[in-house]
Amino acid sequence: MKVYFDHNATTPLHPEVKKEMAEAMDMFGNPSSMHAWGREARANVEDARRRIAAFVGAQDDEIVFVGSGSEANNTVLSLFVCASNMCIPGTKMRSTIITTKIEHPCVLETSECLAHRGARVKFLDVDRYGKVDLDQLADMLGDDVGLVSVMMANNEIGTIQDIETIAKMAHESGAMMHTDAVQAVGKLPVDVQRLGVDFLTISGHKIYGPKGVGALYVKKGTPYCPLIRGGHQERGRRAGTENTLGILGLGKAVDMRAIEMEAEKQLLGDMKAVLKKGIEEQIDDICFNGHPTESLSNTLNVSFPGAEGEAILLYLDLEGIAVSTGSACASGSLDPSHVLLATGVDAERAHGSIRISLGRGSTMQEVEYMLDVLPRTIQRIRNMSTAYIKGGAHAASR
C-alpha cells in the first residue's frame, strides 16, 4: 500500500487542474503582447485572477501573481526596508517588524536578513499549543512598528491563530498586517475583509495546484515596493513574464477548493480523530503537539520519546507511508523543529516527533494501515534504542 500523509509539504495536482493545464499547454503567448496570442494568454491570467480574488474576498487588482509562497512573504517583509529607504515616494515607513517564533523559514530567514539591513525585528512567543501571546504583542506594539506578520495556520503543528484580533491590534497602533495563509487557504474559510489584513500569502502547490506559483493579496492603497523589478507586469508590482500555465492552474485549483473544501474538512477531521485515538490506545508514552481544537483538521503532530523522528520516517517509508519530521525545509538538518521548541517541547521530545498531514485523497483504509504499521515501528525503534527508558529517563543518556 502507498500512503501519502505529507500534504503540508506539497500536494498532488488535482485531476481537474492537470486536465486544464494539459489542455492549455500550447498557450505560449506573452500576456503583454497585443496580438491574438498575447490576448489569449492575458485573458487566462485575468480569469484566474478573478477566481482567486473572489475566493478570498478581494478585488481583482488586489491580487499579485508571484513565483511562490516564499516570494510573496519575502516581498511583504522586504517592503519595510525598501520603504524606509524612501523607495516609495513620499512614504517614510516605520521599520520595526513583529513576527513570531513559529513562522515558516521563508519569513524567519528574511526577518533575520532584514535585521542586518536596518529593520528591527521582534519575535513573538507562543504558548504550549502554539498560540501567539497577545499580551506580549500588546506590549511590543508601538509607534515604531510598521508591520505585524503572523501566519494563519502553522505548517508543522496546525495551530490556527486569531488573525482578526491580531490585525485589529496591529491597526490600532498604526501598523500594517500580513498573514502567511499558505496552510489556511483551501482548508479554512479565508476572507481578507473579515480578517482585516493588508497582505495575505497563497501558494499553488499546497492546494493541489502547480509548484512555482503563488499569489499575494495587497489591499488597495497599501504602500508597496516590488521585490523583482523590471517590466511592468502585474501593474509594476512583480516584474517578469507571467507563469501563464501556472497561474491558470492556480485559478483552477482555487475553484476546486471552493467546491471540495467543506466536505473534505469534515472527512479529514474524522480521520484525524481516529488516528489520534488509535495512537493513544496502541502506543505508550506519546504526546500530541499543537492545539487540541484550534488546529487544521488535516494535521497531526505527535512525539514518541525514545524514537528518532528520522528513523520513524525511514521505517514508515519502507512500508510505503510518507510522513515528515518538522518542516520539509528543516529536514536534512539535525536541529530539532524551531516550532516545537517554541511551544516549550524539550529537544528530546522534539527529535522524536513526526507530522502526519492528510489530504483530499486520504482514506480511512489508509488510516487503518497507518495504525497497523506505526505501533510496531515505534516499538521496533524503541527496542533498538538502549537509551530509551519509559517515562523520561531517556533524556539523560543521549
Q: Which chain residues interact with ligand PLP by CB under 6 A?
A: 68-70, 104, 106, 151, 155, 180, 182-183, 203, 205-206, 214
Residue 329 is among the residues annotated as catalytic for this protein: yes
Q: Kindly state the smallest distance separating residue 329's Cβ from ligand PLP, in Å.
A: 8
How many CB atoms within 10 Å of residue 112?
Answer: 11
**Which of residues 109 and 133 has its CB atom nearest to ligand PLP in the complex?**
109
C-beta of residue 12 within 8 angstroms of C-beta of residue 214: no
Cell numbers describing residue 219? 489591499
Q: Which is nearer to ligand PLP, 95 or 110 (CB)?
A: 110
SS3 for 284?
coil
Q: What's the half-sphere exposure (Cβ side, CA atoms, 13 Å) at 121?
A: 23
Instruction: Give bridge partners of residue 179 from the DSSP assignment.
Output: 200
Grid cell in block for residue 251: 485559478
Compute the least distance from the CB of residue 108 to ligand PLP, in Å.
10
For residue 113, is it left (φ>0), alpha (ψ between -120 and 50) or beta? Answer: alpha
198 SS3 class: coil
Nearer to ligand PLP, 17 or 93 (CB): 17
Compare residues 103 and 285 and give the one whose CB is closer to ligand PLP: 103
Q: Which residue is nearest to ligand PLP (CB)?
A: 69
- List the 199-203 sheet strands across, edge first: 63-66, 214-218, 199-203, 176-180, 145-149, 96-100, 120-124
- Choice between 205 and 382, CB closer to ligand PLP: 205
Query: Closest approach of Cβ 71 to ligand PLP, in Å?
Result: 7
Q: How far apart are CA 162 and CA 150, in angstroms?
A: 9
Q: What amino acid positions are annotated as catalytic residues?
A: 329
